[in-house]
Amino acid sequence: MSGLSNIKSHIQTFLKEIGELSYFTARFFKESFRKPFEFKEFLRQCYSMGNRSLVLVGITGFIIGLVLTLQTRPTLMEFGAVSWMPSMVGISIIREIGPMITALVCAGRIGSGIGAELGSMRVTEQIDAMEVSGTNPFKYLVVTRVLATTFMIPLLVIIGDAIGLYGSYLVEHLKGDVSFQLYFNQVFESLEFGDIIPATIKSFFFGLAIGLVGCFKGYYCGKGTAGVGRAANSAVVFTSLLLFIIDFIAVFAADIFYDL
Amino acid sequence: MKESNTILPQGKVTGTQEIVLEIKNLNKSFGDNHVLKNFNMKLYKGENLVIMGKSGSGKSVMIKCLVGLIQADSGIISVMHKDITTLNQTALDILRSDIGFLFQGSALYDSMTVRENLEFPLRRHSSRFEKNMDTNTLVMEALENVGLAHAIDLMPAELSGGMQRRVALARTLILQPKIILYDEPTSGLDPITAKEIIILMQDIQKKYNTSSLIITHDVDCARAISDRMVLLIDGTNYAEGTFDALSVSTDPKVKAFFKH
Ligand SMILES: Nc1ncnc2c1ncn2[C@@H]1O[C@H](COP(=O)(O)OP(=O)(O)O)[C@@H](O)[C@H]1O
Ligand SMILES: [Mg+2]
């Protein structure tokens, strides 16, 4: 009984968060069309996000490509289908694994960073200081960061995909003596627009979610240093959950769309 | 019920008694927490008014209502004869540029250098100065006022607490405000540094003839700087008068502030 009511209260909190986040999102869209646009801060954010997560995205992408190929190789061998490896790995990385892993890594790296940064700015009254000095802090801090993640995550996904495929190629090259050209020819031959477009659209939404949740948690941070820690932490948890939900919706929608 | 020994402003206040800032019947609650209950206050031109109250008594809430950072539940707040609750964003921003706000913990932007911190308020309000006014000159002048011209390229984290407070003061002064609001200007500082800040505040008052509202719970600070005082007790303006008058009061709640 208490377990059930516990679950109920968890769901209630979650739905309340979703409601507040929707309101925050609406404000984001409204304010992003208002002048002036803080272009310099936007570029600075893009640069620092790319700078902070490129290596991490590269390493995880590389390892995923490597491991995926090593793990599936024996099974494909059994069926005499090793030559399908590039198509299989290409499709799974580009459609699903690349965007998802990159977004999860960035939720941990970028999302928590935004949550902590804005949280500490809230707690130390820097956001208030900005507001009284005539700069709209929502535009200066939130709009620039959310646009930066929306722009940078797809870019990082492409880089992660490329490095992942390269990792997979290395395994094929060492174990099956496949040439670079042959491998990537096969990858691109098996890919269709139906693989690339939904994955790209999905990545934009992943970026939007990471930026929005990080900013939302930081902007309405609770009091004190404990509040900042909680903001950073819950930004990651909430974003990760949201990423899976978006992924589910995206796959579902793409499936319906291509059935037509 | 309430003993209010109102005394007209004395000391530096001369000539016409123009009111630059007035609060009438201000109420503010957070949920069940009724922080301010019918709070009243007037600030005359050129005077140093000290508001004293225990920690958590709502001093910061009151001062934030004054500049529209917190929405009051009810009451009239007029700043230089304008009711701030009726202003639109643009008008509010213009009015705010006449008000300097020194935040409790300095609130320097910790991702920016001292120079960028001081330039930040100028981004929106450069129209206050002549067209060809060099921002560099303004920044240098403001820093020289607080004796920190050499720290211009340092980051806030590289400064001591006292230096941070001075930089924050310089940032407050850069728009040459007519009214300055100090939220616990000496809190968190050692007695010697606190004294330096008080002397700096007095110099500024003399140099620019500003009107100041100083929030504090530091008796030494209040004695040194106040022309007049208001005691914020139980969410309201419990007692008013000069430091000397209040310090000999027989009211137990008032006495509690002055005994060491
Ligand atoms: N944003 C807020 N939400 C809820 N309660 C608040 C908020 N800001 C202040 N309070 C409450 O108002 C009271 C007064 O706070 P404050 O004005 O910061 O005190 P102080 O006089 O020390 O500056 C405290 O009880 C505080 O918990
Ligand atoms: Mg306070």
Helices A144-176 and A85-92, axial angle in degrees (round to 10): 170
Mutate which of B29, B34, B35, B59 for ligand 1 pocket (most atoms within 8 A of beta carbon): B35
Mutate to test the interface with B, among A114, A131, A132, A139 (most CBs of B within 10 A): A132
pLDDT tens-digit profile of A62-90?
A: 999 999 999 999 999 999 888 899 999 99
pLDDT of the residue at A128: 95
The contacts of residue B189 (CB under 8 Å, 6+ apart) are: B161, B162, B165, B197
Most confident of A13-17, A91-95, B136-140: A91-95
The contacts of residue B13 (CB under 8 Å, 6+ apart) are: B44, B45, B46, B47, B227
CB of B30 shorter than 6 A to ligand 1: yes
- Looking at per-residue confidence, does A149 or B249 come out higher? A149
Does A132 contact B104 at a Cβ distance shorter than 8 Å? Answer: no
Strand pairing report for B99-102 and B19-30: unpaired
Which residue on chain A is closest to B168 by alpha carbon? A129
- What is the Cα–Cα distance from A68 to B154, expressed in whole angstroms? 48
- Looking at per-residue confidence, does B208 or A145 come out higher? A145
Task: For ligand 1, atom 3, name the residue with the nearest CA.
Answer: B30
A130 touches chain B (CB under 8 A): yes
CB of B59 shorter than 6 A to ligand 1: yes
According to DSSP, residue A37 is labeled P
Q: What is the band of B164 on the pLDDT scale with cuts at 50, 70, 90? A: very high
Instruction: Tell me the average pLDDT of chain A.
Output: 93
- Look at residue B133 and tell me whether its pLDDT is greater than 80: no
User: Using an 8 Å Cβ cutoff, are B164 and B108 in contact?
Assistant: yes
Residues with C-beta atoms within 5 A of ion ligand 2: B 60
Closest CA to B47 of B90, B4, B9, B97: B9
- Look at residue B132 and tell me whether its pLDDT is greater than 70: no
Ligand at minimal distance from the CA of B182 is 2
CB of B57 shorter than 6 A to ligand 1: yes
- Look at residue A23 and tell me whether its pLDDT is greater than 90: yes
- What is the Cα–Cα distance from B175 to B129, expressed in whole angstroms? 9
Q: What is the band of B4 on the pLDDT scale with cuts at 50, 70, 90? A: very low
Burial class of residue B1 in the structure, from the number of CB atoms within 10 Å of its CB (0-12 exposed, 13-18 middle, 19+ buried): exposed
User: Using an 8 Å Cβ cutoff, are B22 and B253 in contact?
Assistant: no
CB of B60 shorter than 6 A to ligand 1: yes
Closest CA to A258 of A92, A95, A97: A95
CB of B53 shorter than 6 A to ligand 1: yes
CA of B172 to the centre of ligand 1 (A): 23
- What is the Cα–Cα distance from B23 to A194, expressed in whole angstroms? 64
CA of B56 to the centre of ligand 1 (A): 6
Nearest Cβ partner of B107 from A125, A134, A135? A125
What DSSP letter does each residue of A45-105 carry, written as one string? HHHHHHHHHHHHHHHHHHHHHHHHHHHHHHHHHHTT-GGGHHHHHHHHIIIIIHHHHHHHH
CB of B215 shorter than 6 A to ligand 1: no
- Would you state the structure tokens that stand for residue B16, as one six-digit string? 């016409």
Which whole number is the average pLDDT over B135-149? 90
According to DSSP, residue A139 is labeled I
pLDDT tens-digit profile of B31-46?
A: 999 999 999 999 999 9
- What is the Cα–Cα distance from A127 to A115, expressed in whole angstroms? 14
Q: How many CB atoms lie within 10 A of CB B242?
A: 16
pLDDT of the residue at A161: 96
B177 touches chain A (CB under 8 A): no
- Looking at per-residue confidence, does A253 or A65 come out higher? A65
User: What is the value of ipTM here, to two decimals?
Assistant: 0.89
Does B105 contact A135 at a Cβ distance shorter than 8 Å? Answer: no
Q: Is the dihedral of CA A81, A84, A89, A95 positive or negative?
A: negative
Closest CA to A102 of A62, A146, A147, A70: A62
Mutate which of B60, B66, B232 for ligand 1 pocket (most atoms within 8 A of beta carbon): B60
Nearest Cβ partner of B67 from A126, A130, A132? A132
Closest CA to B215 of B41, B20, B68: B41
- What is the Cα–Cα distance from B200 to B248, expressed in whole angstroms? 28
Strand pairing report for B19-30 and B74-79: antiparallel
User: Using an 8 Å Cβ cutoff, are B216 and B222 in contact?
Assistant: yes
Q: How far is CA B12 from the centre of its chain?
A: 18
